[in-house]
């Protein structure tokens, strides 16, 4: 594992209730990169993030973060490495009983002995970076979906992590918020020199900001490449996914018996 590689995934398999979710996944994620993991719903993308974060244990293979095999770490070591990771959940997962300010300050108060005056300055700086310094006094219920995700982004960079994982960061956002979140992800990654891993369905927005894309289908990596390679790909699955075609390798119809038979037409014709 070279120093510039932050995350290495090798021959990773994961099964849930003996149902295989991920099969033989291999990936490398370098420092300073924004990587997108794309695929249909239920293809195992979020599971992959949970494996990187050590929330679940693989059936075989491993995920190495900063040279450490995540699932082999003891609880304290796992928590130590998680302090260097950030995670942006699909709908922000802000603590609803805490204000915007306290949400961003949460990790600083839990993991550091910084004086309250310094925490205040740091929180305001983080909120300023996402454009919400003026909203520090609001409660999560008073925020729009896009604002909540920006606050969650500020919270996830609170301790300047080396890796941030984003679970569907663009879902349900209006075009302006979508563009804002996309550019923030790129800017934060470049400014802080961290690695960003985005699990997303939003092809057009993510292709604008990422360095590399992995497509997952049926638990395996169906294709991978740079955004330019992905756009020009003739692989049927990638083509269908990138262009949002209704039918293709991912069929429109759920498997069923013959339509004619379901409508009792075969008997009538005989």
Which residue in the set 21, 85, 180, 217 belongs to the binding site for another protein (CB under 8 A)?
85
Binding flag, residue 93, another protein (CB under 8 A):
yes
Binding flag, residue 91, another protein (CB under 8 A):
yes
What track of x and - describes contact with another protein for positions 47 through 66 (by CB under 8 A)? ------x-x-----------
Binding flag, residue 130, another protein (CB under 8 A):
no
Nearer to another protein, 73 or 138 (CB): 73
Which residue in the set 72, 110, 160, 266 belongs to the binding site for another protein (CB under 8 A)?
110
Instruction: Please answer whether residues 119 and 108 qualify as being in contact, where contact means their C-beta atoms are separated by less than 8 angstroms.
Output: yes
Binding flag, residue 149, another protein (CB under 8 A):
no
CA–CA separation, 55 and 63 (whole Å): 12
Q: How far is the CB of 265 from another protein (least distance, A)?
A: 37
Which residue in the set 4, 26, 67, 83 belongs to the binding site for another protein (CB under 8 A)?
83
**Interface segment toward another protein; rule CB under 8 A; list 79-87, 128-136, 194-202, 239-247:** 79-87
Which residue in the set 1, 11, 79, 118 belongs to the binding site for another protein (CB under 8 A)?
79
Q: How far is the CB of 218 from another protein (least distance, A)?
A: 26
Which residue in the set 41, 96, 117, 264 belongs to the binding site for another protein (CB under 8 A)?
96
**What torsion, rounded to 10 degrees, do the Cα atoms 58, 63, 67, 68 define?**
-20
Binding flag, residue 95, another protein (CB under 8 A):
yes
Any idea how long the chain is? 270
What is the SS3 assignment for the chain?
CCCCEEEEEEEEEEEECCEEEEEEEEEEEECCCEEEEECCCCCCHHHHHHHHCCCCCCCEEEEEECCEEHHHCCHHHHHHHHCCEEEECCCCCCCCCCCHHHHHHHHHHHHCCCCHHHHHHHHHHHHHHCCCHHHCCCCHHHCCHHHHHHHHHHHHCCCCCCEEEEECCCCCCCHHHHHHHHHHHHHHHHHHCCEEEEEECCHHHHHHHCCEEEEEECCEEEEEECHHHHHCCCCHHHHHHHHCCCCCCCCCCCCCCCHHHHCCHHHHHC
How many positions of this chain bind another protein (CB under 8 A)?
Answer: 20
Q: How far is the CB of 115 from another protein (least distance, A)?
A: 17
Q: How far is the CB of 110 from another protein (least distance, A)?
A: 5
Q: How far is the CB of 214 from another protein (least distance, A)?
A: 21
Q: How do 68-69 and 5-16 pair as beta strands?
A: unpaired
Q: How far is the CB of 175 from another protein (least distance, A)?
A: 25
* Residues making contact with another protein (CB under 8 A): 53, 55, 79-80, 82-83, 85-87, 89-91, 93-96, 106-107, 110-111
């Amino acid at each position: 594992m070279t120093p510039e590689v932050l995350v290495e995934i090798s021959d990773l398999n994961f099964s849930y209730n003996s149902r295989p979710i991920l099969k033989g996944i291999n990936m490398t994620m370098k420092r300073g990169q924004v990587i997108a993991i794309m695929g249909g719903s239920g293809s195992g993308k979020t599971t992959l993030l949970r494996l990187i974060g050590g929330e679940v244990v693989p059936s075989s293979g491993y995920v190495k973060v900063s040279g450490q095999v995540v699932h082999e770490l003891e609880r304290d070591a796992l928590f130590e490495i998680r302090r260097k990771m950030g995670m942006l959940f699909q709908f922000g997962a802000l603590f609803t009983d805490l204000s915007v300010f306290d949400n961003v300050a949460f990790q600083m108060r839990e993991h550091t002995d910084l004086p309250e005056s310094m925490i205040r300055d740091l929180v305001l700086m983080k909120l300023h970076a996402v454009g919400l310094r003026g909203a520090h006094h609001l409660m999560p219920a008073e925020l729009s979906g896009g604002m909540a995700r920006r606050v969650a982004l500020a919270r996830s960079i609170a301790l300047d992590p080396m890796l941030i994982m984003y679970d569907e960061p663009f879902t349900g956002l209006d075009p302006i918020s979508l563009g804002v979140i996309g550019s923030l992800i790129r800017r934060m990654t470049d400014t802080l020199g961290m690695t960003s891993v985005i699990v997303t369905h939003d092809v057009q927005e993510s292709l604008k900001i990422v360095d590399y894309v992995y497509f997952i289908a049926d638990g395996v990596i169906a294709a991978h490449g740079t955004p330019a390679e992905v756009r020009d790909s003739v692989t049927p699955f990638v083509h269908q996914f990138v262009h949002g075609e209704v039918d293709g390798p991912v069929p429109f119809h759920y498997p069923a018996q013959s339509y004619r038979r379901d409508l009792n037409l075969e008997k009538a014709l005989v």
